[in-house]
Chain A
């Protein structure tokens, strides 16, 4: 008999054969980036991330992506605030004798105090400095958040699409770090209607609704119900006609998610 060699002798070479399958919902590798930017084609009315129970595709994880948060922080709640610092926010109307921006900043400062310490909070604003992120999503950044609020200098137009896209992009990036677990809230405080020719936010709002579990909260300050961001059933909208209502609207953002696990079998 040839020598009865037991095992071994050759390098343990495994040819890596990982099949990379396209996602069932989207075959385009750039889709999540496009989605995060809000460049997605408007979806049909039937498409909704919330209504497709089996759709668990957000955020798309690329090959080599890895979580960047500790395992016990995967389910962290995230609030990303977009503050309108356009010129119209300097006006004093329905804001208790101060400018709208002052009322909004005061309400947001109280809101910050109520955000749980273990939640991530971030801020983007548009004012004379255009649309920029002022505070990155994080915990332990509340003082920086308040300081950034105080630094908003109301001036200029209302680039809502850019600002909302930025917020969605930041939340999507955070979701990749958390592997899609957690909660994602995009909170927009605005008093104005965007210029439809250059800054129509419809597409990005539709994308958020169709492709993600991000919850869009809009506090429309002194502009009533008739606002482009008021999408009944698809997002939360509060028409705040006073600083108190503004505060209440922000308080509602922090309400807990609906309970769903109390199940009684309906025999």
Chain B
């Protein structure tokens, strides 16, 4: 809370500047921005490796011996490397250094790399080879909205602010796409900065004509009065709330390293050593963090170095710790999954295809370009690592999830926190839901479950109320109607369970592992007919279409970040 208070205070100090209208920029393709940058050969001497201010980079610093120039005895030194770590958060400057040869490496999110892919591809020497995934963003970034925007589909026609060429561009296009929208359905306001200035998305969000913004989490907390609903005081925006953070959308923003093709082809062994050192660094840092009580001095040295290199202040240890907490390191197993498993729904190829398609559609890039994978021998990279198997864990407390969902069902608040929803329909008396009939819908559920790993997915069955209505019309007694009503509830639950099981089986058939704890089954029976209620009864359908509309299973992807009880403790 001290940190949040400090953030609020910091923003109060710049409040007068934040009120002023920010300076928006255009976002032409990077190929145009960097049109005049000449391509040069990679410079000799210690290899310059870019960092950006992100928790994943703390492991890189740790592997380098907690300093910018590779320290003697460090993990990278043991790999025979001599590196110079240089922070560069302005991506276009990083790309310029990469093209000119000052550094063979690029460090960014995969979305940022895709923004630059066409400019990188122009010269065969600079075609990027993606060599390593550091992390997923798992809480560090957020979509913040003003009142009146209840779910992602409500963004249609709204004005969104975000940093040009920044880490949130593919985050934005993915969310819009999953809501059935595209960037053409919204008005975009591009900002030159990400945070900390009057030309950053937070400042834009404080303007009356901006409805939503993609913010880093400290700014999101400021805008929403600490993560709840903005009060309008202390730089918060009245009514603002976090619609979706990467705690929920935890498989969209992948942080990666890429290397120039010419350097990769000439120095493959060296690049592999760099990747191996990164893996070791991540693992050693993880062990150090877990054991920080006993290894206090060592831990302090690591975080102090990170604070100095990433935040320009050795005193900013708490901020460095915050950065670390917002990143989910993927390790050896995650890299195998990301680069080598063709069925992994959130792998390099899929994310690249999604991002490039969306970027080209709105003119951010000039076409598609290949982002090649290094094709490592991951068995060889396993050497010296302690943990290389991915542990399949259940992220949600299933009992708690079921209770929360049922309570919301009773209170009529199940739709609160809804991000996306869609339905499938069934025939009378249908009790099996094979993938043959519902492949498109099941694929969508698998994609959403994989992308929004921190969201709950409710599978909600509804029953046909016709028999109940007919019994009532025929004057059947209460004791019969009650049993019919309860049977409808039970049948709708069994249908939900059947659908959930079919989806899990569908995923397993494609070598995709879903977390069954992410799914909550609900049986509404006849209590929520599509046609609404007429008095205390479901409205009688007027035609066959209305009748069939009741026979449905509804999927709802729900943000439950505030319901901490539903998450299993790590």
- The answer to whether A5 touches B527, judged by C-beta atoms less than 8 angstroms apart, is no
Closest CB in chain A relative to B544 CB, distance in Å: 5
Q: Which residue of A lies closest to B412 (CB)?
A: A24
Please state if B311 and A5 are interface contacts (CB–CB under 8 Å).
yes
Q: Taking A7-B167, A209-B478, A213-B482 as contacts, is the C-beta distance between A17 and B407 under 8 angstroms?
A: no
How many chain A residues touch B (CB < 8 A): the figure is 70
Task: Report how far A267 CA is from B467 CA in the complex, Å.
Answer: 15
Given A6-B194, A56-B524: A51 and B467 within 8 A (CB)? no
CB 8 Å contact bits of A1-45 with B (1 = contact, 0 = none): 111111111111111111101011000000000000000000000
C-alpha gap A143/B569 in the complex (Å): 41
Flag B311-326 by CB within 8 Å of A: 1 or 0 each: 1100010011011111
Contacts A23-B411, A54-B527, A215-B479; A8 near B197 (Cβ below 8 A):
no
Contacts of A12 in B (CB 8 A): 139-140, 217, 245, 247, 322, 325-326
Whole-angstrom distance from the CB of A261 to the nearest CB of chain B? 6
Is B562 a contact partner of A18 (Cβ separation < 8 A)?
yes
> Is B1 a contact partner of A262 (Cβ separation < 8 A)?
no
Taking the closest CB of chain A, its distance from the CB of B367, in whole angstroms, is 27
**8 A Cβ contacts from B467-501 to A:** 467-468, 470-472, 477-491, 493-494, 497
- CB B184 to nearest CB in A, in angstroms, measures 27
Give chain B interface residues in 196-214, CB to chain A under 8 Å.
Answer: 196-197
- 8 A Cβ contacts from A155-204 to B: 179-184
Task: Say whether B452 faces chain A, with CB atoms less than 8 Å apart.
Answer: no
> Most chain-B CB neighbours within 10 Å: which of A6, A18, A68, A234?
A6
Number of B residues near A (Cβ < 8 Å) is 107
Q: Which residue of B lies closest to A184 (CB)?
A: B486
Alpha-carbon gap, A61 to B402, bound state (A):
11
Q: Which residues of A contact B407 (CB under 8 A)?
A: 61, 63, 65
| B429 located at the interface, meaning its Cβ lies under 8 Å from any Cβ of chain A in the complex | yes
Measured between C-beta atoms, what is the minimum distance from B10 to chain A in Å?
Answer: 10
Interface 9-residue window, one of A89-97, A220-228, A252-260: A252-260
| B179 close to chain A: CB less than 8 A | no
Indicate if the CB atoms of A57 and B477 lie closer than 8 Å. Answer: no
A113 touches B (CB below 8 Å): no
In the complex, how many angstroms separate the beta carbon of B86 from the nearest chain A beta carbon?
A: 14
Residues of B within 8 A of A48 (CB): 478, 482
Residues of chain B within 8 A (CB-CB) of A50 are 478-479, 481-482, 485
Chain A binder among B29-37, B226-234, B375-383: B226-234
What is the bound-complex CA distance between A50 and B196, given in angstroms?
59
- A263 near B167 with CB under 8 A, answer no
Cβ A7 vs Cβ B485 within 8 A: no
Q: Which residues of A contact B227 (CB under 8 A)?
A: 13-15
Q: In the complex, A52 Cα to B197 Cα: how many Å? A: 57
Q: Does B547 touch A at the CB level, under 8 Å?
A: yes
* Contact assessment for B196 and A261 in the assembled complex, using a CB-CB cutoff below 8 Å: no
Cβ of B357 < 8 Å from any Cβ of A?
Answer: no
Tell me, rounded to whole Å, the shortest Cβ–Cβ distance linking B152 to chain A: 19
CA distance A233 to B483 in the complex (A): 12
On whether the beta carbons of A67 and B468 are closer than 8 Å, the reply is no
Contact A13 B479 (CB under 8 A): no
Of all chain B residues, which has the CB nearest A236?
B479
Bound complex: CA of A8 vs CA of B310, how far in Å?
11
Flag if B410 contacts A261 (CB, 8 Å): no
Cβ–Cβ contact A260 & B494, under 8 A: no
Residues of B within 8 A of A54 (CB): 527-528, 533, 536, 538
Q: CA–CA, A16 to B3, complex, Å?
A: 17
Contact with B along A115-134 (1 / 0, CB 8 A): 00000000000000000000
7 CB contacts below 8 A, A to B, read A3-B311, A8-B325, A10-B322, A12-B325, A53-B536, A53-B538, A257-B486
Besides the contacts A3-B311, A10-B218, A260-B488, what 17 more A-B pairs have beta carbons closer than 8 Å? A4-B194, A4-B196, A6-B166, A6-B195, A7-B141, A9-B311, A9-B316, A9-B320, A9-B323, A11-B1, A11-B325, A12-B322, A18-B562, A21-B412, A61-B406, A71-B521, A257-B486
Q: Interface on B for A, CB 8 Å cutoff?
A: 1, 3-4, 6-7, 52-55, 89-90, 137, 139-141, 166-167, 192-197, 216-218, 221, 225-229, 242, 245, 247, 311-312, 316, 319-320, 322-327, 398-400, 402-403, 406-407, 409-413, 428-429, 463-468, 470-472, 477-491, 493-494, 497, 521, 523-529, 533, 536-538, 541, 544, 547, 561-565
Leading 10 A-B pairs by shortest Cβ distance: A50-B482, A233-B477, A8-B323, A7-B140, A260-B467, A4-B89, A14-B227, A66-B399, A263-B466, A9-B319
